[in-house]
Amino acid sequence: MSSDAPVIETNGLTKQYGDVRAVDSLDLAIEAGDVYGFLGPNGAGKSTTIGLLLDYLRPTAGTVRVFGTDPQRDPVEIHNRTGVLPDRFGLYEGRSARQHVSFVTETKRVDDDPEALLDRVGLADAIDDDAGEFSKGMEQRLALAMALVGDPDLLVLDEPFTGLDPHGVRRVREIVHEENERGATVFFSSHVLGQVELVCDRVGVLHQGRLVADGTVDELRAAAGTDDDAVIEDVFVELTDARIDAGGESQ
Ligand SMILES: Nc1ncnc2c1ncn2[C@@H]1O[C@H](COP(=O)(O)OP(=O)(O)OP(=O)(O)O)[C@@H](O)[C@H]1O
């Protein structure tokens, strides 16, 4: 990939499930060093898009490039350079947090210290505890530690704030900043709109599979016709409500 090519690029990306067009003609360009927030109501197509970026799913039409590579042609190259926090993940009962992180360091063939990573996500006191008995928030922290293994060039985080207490939310925000300072590009989906405003350079709003806005939070305010001091929740509701009122679904 040339240095100025986008880290993530989609053109006309479409995924159809029967009658449902989960992702509809999506054009995205996420540049190196961006922290990009991918927002949308429930069922908008965010997780499907992430699945298409990582070759967990195959598109019905359109193209995807990650680091200039087609995920269908070389998923391993992409996975080696990407840390992923999926929307659904399973942990192994009877295995400790340390064992989970060690599994990823071994798979990625890196020598990161599991203790340091678990400390970073606030699990220092639970390093050798059975991950099968973790609370939702602890599971989320562990999955984030696993995503951070190997200092990935790209972090793809699907709803990273889910299940976290305020300390956890702040920790994730700090980690996103730190990773970005290190040089990582960050792409994350979220419903926690206040947090998005605090961490993102750019935001895309997806609605019924289509990108209805893409830009800085200020640009989105202008597109939505909301006041300069409108919080991002107002902007989001304005951008997605117009379409819901026009006959789309609302959840
Ligand atoms: N395997 C599947 N088979 C059929 N329909 C699916 C499948 N996966 C997703 N969909 C549909 O595609 C649409 C987009 O779903 P997706 O999970 O990508 O949305 P999302 O924006 O991530 O939602 P949420 O915020 O609720 O997680 C929804 O209408 C969903 O019902």
Among protein residues, the one with the nearest Cα to ligand 1's atom 16 is 45
Q: Which atom of ligand 1 is nearest to the CA of 206?
A: 21
Among protein residues, the one with the nearest Cα to ligand 1's atom 8 is 48
Mean pLDDT value across residues 41-64: 95
Mean pLDDT value across residues 35-39: 95
Residue 7 clears pLDDT 90, i.e. is over it: yes
Which residue, among 120, 171, 173, has the nearest Cα to 148 in the 3D structure? 120
Report CA(48)–ligand 1 centroid distance (Å): 6
Q: What is residue 221's predicted lDDT score, i.e. its pLDDT?
A: 82
Q: What is residue 47's predicted lDDT score, i.e. its pLDDT?
A: 94
Percent of the chain at pLDDT > 70 equals 94
Residue 248 clears pLDDT 50, i.e. is over it: no
Q: What is residue 3's predicted lDDT score, i.e. its pLDDT?
A: 58
| Contacts with 70 (C-beta within 8 Å, 6 or more apart), sequence order | 63, 64
Residue 218 clears pLDDT 80, i.e. is over it: yes
**Look-up: residue for tokens 């117009």?**
242
Region class of 55: left (phi > 0), else alpha (psi between -120 and 50), else beta? left
pTM for this prediction: 0.91
> DSSP string spanning the chain?
--TTS-SEEEEEEEEEETTEEEEEEEEEEE-TT-EEEEE-STTSSHHHHHHHHTTSS--SEEEEEETTB-TTT-HHHHHHHEEEE-SS----TT-BHHHHHHHHHHHHT----HHHHHHHTT-GGGTTSBGGG--HHHHHHHHHHHHHTT--SEEEEESTTTT--HHHHHHHHHHHHHHHHHT-EEEEEES-HHHHHHH-SEEEEEETTEEEEEE-HHHHHHHHT--TT--HHHHHHHHHHHHHHTT----
Report CA(210)–ligand 1 centroid distance (Å): 13
As for ligand 1, residues whose beta carbon falls within 6 Å of it are 17, 20, 22, 40, 42-48, 87
Q: Which of 47, 193, 207 to mutate to test the pocket of ligand 1 (most atoms within 8 A of CB)?
A: 47
Average confidence score pLDDT of the chain: 90
Report CA(65)–ligand 1 centroid distance (Å): 22
Report CA(133)–ligand 1 centroid distance (Å): 28
Residue 244 clears pLDDT 60, i.e. is over it: no
Report CA(72)–ligand 1 centroid distance (Å): 21
Q: What is residue 249's predicted lDDT score, i.e. its pLDDT?
A: 42
Q: What is residue 168's predicted lDDT score, i.e. its pLDDT?
A: 93
Residue 96 clears pLDDT 80, i.e. is over it: yes
How does pLDDT run across 158-197, given as a tens digit for each residue?
999 988 999 999 999 999 999 999 999 999 998 777 888 8
**Domain 8-88+154-245 is of which CATH architecture?**
3-Layer(aba) Sandwich (3.40)
User: In this structure, what are the phi and psi dihedrals at residue 88, rounded to the nearest 5 degrees?
Assistant: -125, 130
Among protein residues, the one with the nearest Cα to ligand 1's atom 28 is 43
| Residue 247 confidence class, pLDDT cut points 50, 70, 90 | very low
Q: What is residue 114's predicted lDDT score, i.e. its pLDDT?
A: 97
Among protein residues, the one with the nearest Cα to ligand 1's atom 14 is 45
Q: What is residue 80's predicted lDDT score, i.e. its pLDDT?
A: 92
Mean pLDDT value across residues 80-108: 94
Residue 2 clears pLDDT 70, i.e. is over it: no
Q: What is residue 61's predicted lDDT score, i.e. its pLDDT?
A: 97
Q: What is residue 242's predicted lDDT score, i.e. its pLDDT?
A: 56
Q: What is residue 58's predicted lDDT score, i.e. its pLDDT?
A: 96
Report CA(209)–ligand 1 centroid distance (Å): 9
